[in-house]
């Protein structure tokens, strides 16, 4: 177990040579606080020239993460660079969790709630965290 980010814990377990499983104990002072979220990272054979495939395996209420765990993040697609490290990818995902991008959602309904009723969004995110991540 190692601390990748200052305010929450991560641990990794190598599942096979081409994949990594990440466990996050989520960000304090967020609707995800107290939740433990799992992600998988699959490395293509031409990594680092192609981005890794990163997905949440724990359900999470977020406009940029759908029910399959897919993450809408530009550096995992069009803005990928071989200079990016997995630590930078995880930091970008953490930033996305703290600051969603409702203008480029994977789940438009959650984005609408985020834009129009942030209190309701936070309540629903906390409810999902209790239901799926605790």
CATH number of 20-133: 3.10.110.10
Catalytic residue among 20, 22, 54, 72: 72
Position 5 scores a pLDDT of 40
Position 21 scores a pLDDT of 64
Catalytic residue list contains 94: no
Strand partners, 36: 25
Position 34 scores a pLDDT of 86
pLDDT tens-digit profile, the chain (134 residues): 333 344 444 444 444 445 566 666 666 788 998 888 889 999 999 999 999 999 999 999 999 999 999 999 999 999 999 999 988 999 899 899 989 999 999 999 999 999 999 999 999 999 999 999 98
Tokens of 45: 């054979």
Kindly give, in sequence order, each residue whose CB lies less than 8 Å from that of residue 88, ignoring residues fewer than 6 positions away.
Answer: 75
Helices 118-133, 108-116: axis angle to 10 degrees equals 130
Instruction: Please provide residue 126's backbone torsions phi and psi, each rounded to the nearest 5 degrees.
Output: -65, -40
**pTM (whole model) above 0.85:** no
Distance CA 86, CA 48 (A): 10
């Amino acid at each position: 177990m190692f601390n990748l980010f200052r305010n929450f814990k991560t641990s990794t377990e190598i599942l096979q040579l081409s994949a990594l499983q990440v466990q996050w104990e989520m960000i304090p002072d967020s609707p995800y606080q107290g939740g433990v979220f799992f992600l998988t990272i699959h490395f293509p054979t031409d990594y680092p020239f192609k981005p890794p495939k990163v997905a949440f395996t724990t359900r999470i209420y977020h406009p940029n993460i759908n029910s399959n765990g897919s993450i809408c993040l530009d550096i995992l697609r069009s803005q990928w660079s071989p200079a990016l490290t997995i630590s930078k990818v995880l930091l970008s995902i953490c930033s996305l969790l703290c600051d969603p991008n409702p203008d480029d959602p994977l789940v438009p309904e959650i984005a609408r709630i985020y834009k129009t009723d942030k209190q309701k969004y936070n309540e629903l995110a906390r409810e999902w965290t209790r239901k799926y991540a605790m």
